Structure 1
Amino acid sequence: MFLELIGTIFAGVALAGMVMLVNRLTGGRLPRWSAPVAAGFGMLSMTVFMEYSWFDRTTATLPEGVFVAQSIEKARFYQPWTYVVPYVDRFVAVDSLSVRRHADLPDQRMADLYFFGRWAPLKRVPVLFDCAEGRMATLIDGATFDDSGQVIDPDWVHVDDRDAVLASACGVS
């Protein structure tokens, strides 16, 4: 976040400096307000660029085996251009290398989900998926297993059959 702030300030100063240079080369023919307007335009443009490129920059750094299962686009009233082209504000990634199965429970899988947010810290959440029943349970507080390998008293949540996170976790071989 700090580096983005520095980049935004630098973009404003650079664009204002270019306008001042052009003004000097043209003999002062540009209006006095052109440099501050250029600085504001440069900072706004850099901010918009950083918002729209965050998702691609973040997913490019995901390690091997971690893939995006679902992304959530955002449109905000104070950013009117987002109604034309929404940007990805957060996404969920599945760690395919963390998928665990039990031989006696072939329809269940346990995997780590990573929740990424534009201005939020990364969260890792272990989740139990029941692929046959179309449900999932978070195991944030840990899990207790019985002798057969079944999780004792999970808090199941039924999800739609087309849920992208469930399909991603259940599709991992």
Structure 2
Amino acid sequence: MFLELIATFAVGIGAAGTALVVGHLSRGRLPRYSAPFAAGIAMLCYVVWSEYTWANRTLSTLPDSVEVVSAVEESKPWKPWSYIVPQVTRMMVLDRAGVQTNPAAPEILLADIYLFGRWAAPMMRPQLVDCAKAARADVSEVALADPSQAEWIAVGLEDPVIEALCQS
């Protein structure tokens, strides 16, 4: 967040400097308020660009084996443009390369789910997935040893993780 603030100020200073140079080259034909106006507009445009490209920039740093299974789009009152085009603020990502099966229970899948939030640290949540029952369970030592002892939650076939793992 701090680096993004620094980048925003750098964009503003660059835009103000460009406006000052253009004003000098035009022999003072630009109004005096053009530098702060250019800085403000450039900073606002950079912040909007940064917010809307966050999800794609985050995904570009991940391996090709990941798949977005759920993305949350939000609109905020202090970002009125987000009512026109909502922005992605959270994502649930499945690592397909890491999906495993237990030889003792081959119908149960073990998958790593990553949770990304715009201003939050990423989290990894390993999940047990039972496609036949459309249920998920958080991984624990007991659940890994004996999946029948896991605390299963029936999520239904509409659950994004169930759809991604079981219907493909």
Deviation at 1:92, TM superposition (A): 0.9
RMSD between superposed Cα atoms in Å: 1.9
Q: Which has the higher contact order (CA 8 A, sep 6+)?
A: 1
Aligned pair count reads 168
For 1:151, the equivalent position in structure 2 comes to 147
Deviation at 1:136, TM superposition (A): 0.7
Deviation at 1:31, TM superposition (A): 2.5
For 1:170, the equivalent position in structure 2 comes to 166
What one-letter code is carried by the residue in structure 2 that aligns with 1:168? A
Q: Give me the whole-angstrom Cα distance separating, in 2, the residues matched to 1:131 and 1:110.
A: 11
The answer to which structure has the higher helix fraction is 2
Q: Give me the whole-angstrom Cα distance separating, in 2, the residues matched to 1:58 and 1:145.
A: 31
Residue deviations 1:59-90 (CA, integer Å, cap 9, x gap): 11111422211111111111010111111111
Q: Give me the whole-angstrom Cα distance separating, in 1, the residues matched to 2:143 and 2:47.
A: 48
Deviation at 1:9, TM superposition (A): 1.1
Deviation at 1:10, TM superposition (A): 1.3
For 2:122, the equivalent position in structure 1 comes to 122
Q: Give me the whole-angstrom Cα distance separating, in 2, the residues matched to 1:93 and 1:111.
A: 10
Deviation at 1:152, TM superposition (A): 4.8
Residue deviations 1:46-71 (CA, integer Å, cap 9, x gap): 11111111111111111142221111
Deviation at 1:171, TM superposition (A): 4.6
TM-score by length of 1: 0.87
Identical residues among aligned pairs (%): 39
Q: 1:1-173 alignment to 2 at 5 Å?
A: 1-139=1-139, 142-145=140-143, 150-171=146-167
SS at match of 2:94: strand
SS at match of 1:27: coil
Deviant stretches of 4+, over 6 Å:
none
Taking structure 1 as reference, are residues 103 and 153 closer, same or farther at Cα in structure 2, changes over 3 Å only?
closer
Q: Give me the whole-angstrom Cα distance separating, in 1, the residues matched to 2:72 and 2:6.
A: 27
Q: Give me the whole-angstrom Cα distance separating, in 2, the residues matched to 1:145 and 1:40.
A: 54
Unaligned runs of 5+ in 2: none
